[in-house]
Amino acid sequence: MLFDTHAHYDDAQFDGDRDALLSSLPENGVGLVLNPGCDLESSRKAVSYAQAYPHVYAAVGFHPENLEGVEGTRDLAALETLARSSPRVRAIGEIGLDYYWVKDVEGRRAQAEIFRAQMRLAGRLGLPVIIHDREAHLDSLTIVEQYPKVRGVFHCYSGSVELAKRLLDLGYLLSFTGVLTYKNARKAVEVVRATPLDRLMIETDAPYMAPVPYRGKRNSSLYVYRMAEAIAEIKDLPLETVIAQTTENGKRLFGI
């Protein structure tokens, strides 16, 4: 049974077939899905899917690219209320830093402030975090180091082997998307090779990042097996072993 640990079914690209698709996942080998939120609205939708489908769980959070109009105190209180509203909420995410889109100092400072507040929230609620780190590796590491009791996953991991080792020492897991199947994925391949199997998770980040041979199409959890195949090939392990262990890792992290 596969566990897609990161998919955005609130995206409008699923408006035409969301229910049919989500309902069909278990019979297609995908027994678990975690749907993270990116703002209050998508977090609320994530919780509603988690309540409607027994194989779907939710995370709630403010993504660093979705901070426009977010007012710290008020919106974080609303997020906390939502996180406490359902036992199906199993993480705070996705949260973090994105320096690819935000270049100015003020914008980056605002990202760090909301990121830290959400790390504190995760600590208070005893929930793991799902971290988005795009071109902000050192600052992301600095912040997670400040919350040593919080555990989580660096999703769509894009850093070096050296950074990976620091994060693994802190107790974090690393998760990989379709990027792992692209021809230029040399760095991600090295990280997978250097990371123990019991610290890896797989995800689609649907509807984006579709793996080869579906690249360019709308992604969905139906394609998450491709990341298991890629890890099996890189680590020269049986596919069934990779599927079972990555699912186990996700269940352990998210308390399922």
Written as six digits, the tokens of 78 are 């609303």
Interior angle at CA 24, CA 20 and CA 27, nearest 5: 165
- Our CB check for Ni ion shows the closer of 2 and 96 to be 96
Rounded to a whole number of angstroms, the minimum distance from the CB of residue 132 to Ni ion is 6
Residue nearest to Ni ion (CB): 205
Say if residues 58 and 88 touch (Cβ distance below 8 Å): yes
Say if residues 56 and 33 touch (Cβ distance below 8 Å): yes
Q: Which of residues 198-217 bind Ni ion (CB under 5 A)?
A: 205
Rounded to a whole number of angstroms, the minimum distance from the CB of residue 237 to Ni ion is 26
- Our CB check for Ni ion shows the closer of 44 and 235 to be 44
State the binding string over 54-93 for Ni ion (x if CB under 5 A, else -).
Answer: ----------------------------------------
Q: In angstroms, rounded to a whole number, what is the distance separating the alpha carbons of residues 191 and 179?
A: 13
- Our CB check for Ni ion shows the closer of 133 and 205 to be 205
Rounded to a whole number of angstroms, the minimum distance from the CB of residue 93 to Ni ion is 8
Q: In angstroms, rounded to a whole number, what is the distance separating the alpha carbons of residues 248 and 230?
A: 18
Rounded to a whole number of angstroms, the minimum distance from the CB of residue 98 to Ni ion is 11
DSSP state of 211: P
Q: In angstroms, rounded to a whole number, what is the distance separating the alpha carbons of residues 222 and 228?
A: 12
- Our CB check for Ni ion shows the closer of 136 and 232 to be 136
| Number of residues engaging Ni ion in binding (CB under 5 A) | 1
Rounded to a whole number of angstroms, the minimum distance from the CB of residue 94 to Ni ion is 5
Rounded to a whole number of angstroms, the minimum distance from the CB of residue 73 to Ni ion is 25
Strand 56-60 vs strand 173-176: parallel, antiparallel, or unpaired? Answer: unpaired
State the binding string over 22-51 for Ni ion (x if CB under 5 A, else -).
Answer: ------------------------------
Please state the separation of Cα 112 from the chain's center in Å: 18
Q: Which stretch binds Ni ion (CB under 5 A): 69-77, 99-107, 197-205, 216-224?
A: 197-205
- Our CB check for Ni ion shows the closer of 100 and 240 to be 100
Q: In angstroms, rounded to a whole number, what is the distance separating the alpha carbons of residues 9 and 185?
A: 26
- Our CB check for Ni ion shows the closer of 61 and 230 to be 61
* Sequence-ordered alpha helix ranges (H) in the chain: 18-24, 40-52, 72-85, 105-125, 137-145, 161-169, 186-194, 225-235, 239-254
Using CB under 5 A, list all residues that contact Ni ion: 205
